[in-house]
Amino acid sequence: MENFKKILVGVDDSADALLAFRYAIKRAKNDEAELVIVSILESHEMNVFEALDKDYIHGERAELEKHLLKYQHEAQAAGVEKVSAVVAEGEAGETIVKDVIPHVAPDLLIIGSQSKKGLAKHFGSQAAYMAKYAPISVLVIR
């Protein structure tokens, strides 16, 4: 089995994403890989007034960054030596594939099969999009 050097895991607090995160921790430890945790601030979750309010968006982003620190600390406490976190904005699947992966340069993406937010939670379309279009190996956890 191939060892990975850098693993990207997507989190959104859904049950599947938490399973993916826990698997990513184990895989990163086993492979002695760097772990990068990503969460996406999705603008379609905001109403029009919130989306136009830069202070609101900045506050939402700051809260998400603070929340990701908990994930980062959990991974470090579990024994993953190199852990970082990234917040991006946009449609989750497309943003991860087109922006985050080229920027972070992981060799494995681990995601949950269903998201917690938006219409995609019912169809798993974000996971399907990433599995189809990501230029790296994708592991979908359920």
For the stretch 58-96, pLDDT in tens is: 567 788 899 999 999 999 999 999 999 999 988 899 999
14-45 pLDDT, tens digit each: 899 999 999 999 999 999 999 999 999 876 55
pLDDT score of 134: 97
Helix or strand or coil: residue 56?
helix
CA-based nearest residue to 19, from 94, 112, 86: 112
98-137 pLDDT, tens digit each: 999 999 999 999 999 876 555 444 445 789 999 999 999 9
Residue 83 lies in a domain: yes
Domain that holds residue 41: 6-141
Tell me how many domains the chain contains.
1
Angle made by CA atoms 118, 128, 1, in degrees to the nearest 5 = 130
Question: Angle of helix 15-31 relative to helix 54-77, nearest 10 degrees?
Answer: 50
Instruction: Pull the structure tokens for residue 83.
Output: 């852990």
CATH code of residue 120: 3.40.50.620
Residue 1 lies in a domain: no
Residue 48 reports pLDDT greater than 90: no
